[in-house]
Amino acid sequence: MNIKRMAFVLLALLLLLTSVAAAAPAAKNPPTLSVDGEGTGIAAPDRATVTIVVTTQATDAGKAQNDNAWTTEQVNKAIKALGIEAKDIQTNNYSFRPNYRTAENHRNEISGYTVNNSIIVIVRDINKTGKVIDAALGAGANQIHSLDFTASNTQAVRKEALMKAVQDARDKADVLAKGLGKRIVGIQNVSESTGYLESRRYDNAMLVAAKSAAATTIEPGSLSLTARVHIDYILEN
C-alpha cells in the first residue's frame, strides 16, 4: 500500500469516527431535588458561672484597699464553705481609682477612693447557684454582675441537632418527590451549618428581681443549638 493510499484510508476512518461521535446522544444528567433542613438539640445546663463584685469606698486610699481585701476574703470564705473549690474562684477584674469633687471650685480635688474587685465563681453543682449568690451578698458583696448557665456535653447536643436537620430535609424531599411522581435514588451533595450552644445569661436587673425573695431561686432552664443542612437528592429518570 503506497503512502497516498494509506493516508486516504486513515482520513476516511477519522471522518467515520467523527460522524459516529457527533451522532451519539449526549449523556443526560439525572434530575436532582434540593432541600434545606433544620433541627434543634436541647441540653440541660450542668454548670453556672457567677460574676460577683465587691466595691469599697473611703477617703483614705489605704483604707479603701484594705476594706476591699477584707470583704473579698469574707466572700471567698463564704463561697468555699458551700463546697466550692479554690480553683473555681478567680479574680476577673480589679480597679482602683480616685474620686473627684464635683463642686465648681473644687473639680480637681480628690474626695476619696473607690476599689472594685470582680470575682468569677464556677458552680459545678447548679443546685448551689442560688446559695452561692446569697452567701456572697451576705458576706458583703455589693453586686452580682452576671450569671451564665452552660452545658459541658456539647457534642451530644450537636449530634441531636444534625440528626433532626437531616430528617427534616428528608421528610421535605419525600413529600416533594411524591408530588412530582418521582423516587429518590441517591444523594449528590450535602452541606451543613451548625451553630454553637449558647449560654443562658441573667443580667443584673434579672438578678435583682430574683433577689426579692428571702432566698435567691434561680431556674437554669434549658439550652439549645440549631443545625442546618442542604442536601441535593438524585431522582430517578
Return d(Cα 113, Cα 57) in angstroms, integer.
6
Cα(173)–Cα(37) distance, integer angstroms: 10
- Say which residues have a Cβ less than 8 Å from residue 49's Cβ, sequence separation at least 6: 120, 121, 122, 123, 147, 148, 150, 199
The predicted structure's pLDDT at residue 208: 52
pLDDT score for 204: 61
First CA to last CA across the chain, in angstroms?
A: 51
In the chain, what are the domains? 29-44+153-199+222-237 (3.30.110.170), 47-150 (3.30.70.2970)
Q: Determine the pLDDT at residue 229.
A: 97
- The per-residue pLDDT for range 111-161, each reduced to its tens digit, is 899 999 999 999 999 999 999 999 999 999 999 999 999 998 889 999 999
d(CA 162, CA 193): 9
Which residue ranges in the chain fall short of pLDDT 50?
20-21, 23-24, 209-210, 212
Sequence-separated (6 or more) residues with CB below 8 Å from residue 173: 33, 35, 184, 231, 233
